[in-house]
A and B are shown apart, each in its own frame.
Chain A
């Protein structure tokens, strides 16, 4: 067990954890931040996507010991009032069905747009290919990303 100081959504958080505990379980179990979801544990589905220094990463596959002093952003901290352009576009297009994968989809989409503010259809598809949605909301996700892109 070691003590770690993480910066999550702009706040310093101290946790005691084993070195190999994935960031996902640190967030969910140790810090009670349940917005980030567990889907596969192998970085295959994207449900656990958060931002590390502004880049989308799969928190299920990043051990806490590798986070260092990186800035972590989770769905809870993407915007203060749930009004990030991506979140607004998700509401406008009524994207979610069950909703479980959508935290990860939104975090991935926000990072995608930050890196590429006007992505083409193909760039959206490639950029979102790591995020699975079993309900099949892909087309609304794509439309919402385009709306958010224009709203930025």
Chain B
């Protein structure tokens, strides 16, 4: 199967669009295959114990039954973004449903049926806004047709609201459920006949709809990965390879098997090195009647390892080498004009080096998955996965069965941030269930999670900026180096991919006449993956820290500087300046989602206004600014700092302005920015993973720290730009600008520039 993985390899645009944006065309194709209509329509079915409840399902996402129950399928994974609410909210609004009675059901992993389910890359709303509207509008169209026929009125005089069809010219109204039977033989409408609502009639889109699961969560009833219980289920804890690529020479399970409750010890054949993104690591699993017995059994297990080629890997040493490499000529990825000439002619060249560490995702729910390999060889899984289709394919591959024999039930995710895209832990559960001949939950501990993550890469960057005697910025030269995501699958992937370069590096938006952007080689020695906002984390830190220095060198206010250097309002197309590769644009065509400097300047002006930037600056308030577009969403950020009489620094306020096009669930947009600023505070100030002798040095939340309430940013103001432009996602875009905005504020506080993450506040 096609693993829908962004950023994996250098891909040309066509390849990427197939992989990364799978695709309106496929979506429509799926529909027409099944129905001849525009969405997969299960036109009619009977259900219920006595067959008395009749269900009308105009497409796979929506069904309405004769008891007036509206059920909407959530086909994307819920990991905290609110997507399990936001997409059904769109369907319900177009349908005219009574939201308080809508039931949401989580889809199993089935790409043919539901289309793309890879919940990643901030693309759920971007990809599915229109399909969800059409799914709801089809239902509305058919219900209105049925009601109009019943009443003998023109359909154009009718609308839907609160779960009823209503007639404008009279007081006639009828509940959806009463129309279900009359839709028995109704033909699916042609796509061209479906009219979407005018935005002025939205009742749910653009509002603060509470998340569907809020009551279950507050009562402890929400079901996450490890919460599924099956009869006769065993629990497995795995002693994994201490160094990625190490192999088991031998193991002694005598003491482990002596632990009360331990039932079996099983070796897992690992993938070696490179480890791959969807394979289990080499290890020895202890299978027990309960989690504690498995943990104790693992402690008692003795394993002898051949540590392999990464046993002397030291991340600090590699980072030093990476920094050194940026002083040399790299592989040019984007070029405009002639940076070297600009640099020679400059009256001033600012040259700075930026470093950032490895980061772990550290979802509070550690990976866990339940698999049941049944007697017929089929496998059913319950897992907190961001990417059920990839899990399905990976399990099928590991068990040597067809994907049709694998069923993936998606639970709630206790955080994802990219970690739970990778199905390695699901493969472990399936492999162990087969060996145990019983359902197995594989349970990762926190130590497992931090040791065996797919890490965000550490990185080195060097930026040179040239200024002429009039203070004009004449040149920008950005060197970047970090172990690529591709290195997890191939030793030949030594440079960041086009996808990774497109995340805040080659998409340098400022209008500078001479630009050269270069990458350098580095090796992968662990499992590298993607973490909320991916390479934007380190690229935005470097780019906007440097922009702040440039503003200072030019004698300009940072916001004034950014507005000026963004230049005229226009769409930027990077492609003509790309060297030996393509500009990714997050998998979207640049004409569909252009890089518009006017929209960026607008959010910058908004954040300046809302933060009262100019007056507060004059009053001596300590503030830092950065603005960064990622995942096609425009974000500007101001971070405010305060120092108390004891010298303790805090972040009392953060101001964000965001332009994500149409705002679907305004409360969840705000919550993503509130949380994104906290997440970014951890990356900026507390968290780092390091390797010595090939092994991660951090074990738990005492050594891999994430921000706690006392040091967290306090008031997060989120200003959402009203827009009717097609929507883009907000899961990741809050993170990148926050880190340089905080670093720039720290400079104003202390007079010292920050060049290395994490830094002390």
Give chain A's interface residues, CB within 8 Å of chain B: 1, 18, 20-22, 25, 28-30, 32, 34-42, 44-45, 47, 74-76, 82, 87, 90-91, 94-103, 106, 124-126, 128-142
Could you tell me if A96 and B218 are in contact, using CB atoms closer than 8 angstroms?
A: yes
Could you tell me if A35 and B219 are in contact, using CB atoms closer than 8 angstroms?
A: yes
Report the nearest A residue to B233, measured CB to CB. A29
State the 3 A-B residue pairs at the shortest beta-carbon distance, nearest first: A35-B220, A136-B678, A100-B414
Could you tell me if A35 and B446 are in contact, using CB atoms closer than 8 angstroms?
A: no
CA distance A47 to B364 in the complex (A): 8
Q: List 21 A-B contacts (CB under 8 A).
A: A18-B260, A20-B292, A25-B291, A32-B229, A40-B446, A45-B701, A96-B211, A98-B79, A98-B363, A98-B364, A98-B413, A100-B412, A102-B218, A103-B220, A128-B709, A133-B364, A133-B678, A134-B362, A134-B679, A135-B678, A139-B674
Interface of B is mostly: loop
Report the nearest B residue to A84, measured CB to CB. B218
User: A37, A90, A131, A136: which contacts B674 (Cβ < 8 A)?
Assistant: A136
CA distance A111 to B699 in the complex (A): 29
Q: What bracket does the count of chain B residues touching chain A fall in?
A: 35 or more
User: B81, B224, B443, B446: which contacts A97 (Cβ < 8 A)?
Assistant: B81
Verify if B667 is at the interface (C-beta below 8 Å from A): yes
Verify if B130 is at the interface (C-beta below 8 Å from A): no
Shortest CB distance A124–B (Å): 8
B-side contacts of A44, CB under 8 Å: 446, 700-702
Shortest CB distance A54–B (Å): 18
User: B217, B261, B709: which contacts A129 (Cβ < 8 A)?
Assistant: B709
Verify if B235 is at the interface (C-beta below 8 Å from A): yes
Report the nearest B residue to A28, measured CB to CB. B291
For window 193-226 of B, CB contacts with A under 8 Å fall at: 208, 210-211, 213-215, 217-224, 226
Could you tell me if A139 and B714 are in contact, using CB atoms closer than 8 angstroms?
A: yes
Verify if B664 is at the interface (C-beta below 8 Å from A): no
Could you tell me if B712 and A139 are in contact, using CB atoms closer than 8 angstroms?
A: yes
Given the known interface contacts A45-B701, A97-B671, A98-B80, the answer about A134 and B446 at a Cβ–Cβ threshold of 8 Å is no
User: A1, A75, A129: which contacts B219 (Cβ < 8 A)?
Assistant: A75
Shortest CB distance A61–B (Å): 12
Shortest CB distance A18–B (Å): 6
Report the nearest B residue to A63, measured CB to CB. B292
Report the nearest B residue to A88, measured CB to CB. B218
Most chain B CB neighbours (cut-off 10 Å) among A35, A99, A101, A138: A99
Could you tell me if B214 and A29 are in contact, using CB atoms closer than 8 angstroms?
A: no
Report the nearest A residue to B678, measured CB to CB. A136
Shortest CB distance A67–B (Å): 15
Could you tell me if B700 and A40 are in contact, using CB atoms closer than 8 angstroms?
A: yes
Could you tell me if B363 and A134 are in contact, using CB atoms closer than 8 angstroms?
A: yes
Verify if B690 is at the interface (C-beta below 8 Å from A): no
Verify if B152 is at the interface (C-beta below 8 Å from A): no
Given the known interface contacts A29-B290, A98-B412, A99-B213, the answer about A129 and B710 at a Cβ–Cβ threshold of 8 Å is yes
Could you tell me if B218 and A42 are in contact, using CB atoms closer than 8 angstroms?
A: no
User: B292, B366, B414, B710: which contacts A98 (Cβ < 8 A)?
Assistant: B414
Could you tell me if A29 and B235 are in contact, using CB atoms closer than 8 angstroms?
A: yes
Shortest CB distance B448–A (Å): 10
Verify if B255 is at the interface (C-beta below 8 Å from A): no
A-side contacts of B290, CB under 8 Å: 21, 25, 29-30
Verify if B706 is at the interface (C-beta below 8 Å from A): yes
B-side contacts of A141, CB under 8 Å: 709
User: A74, A135, A142: which contacts B709 (Cβ < 8 A)?
Assistant: A142
B-side contacts of A76, CB under 8 Å: 219-221
Report the nearest A residue to B222, measured CB to CB. A99
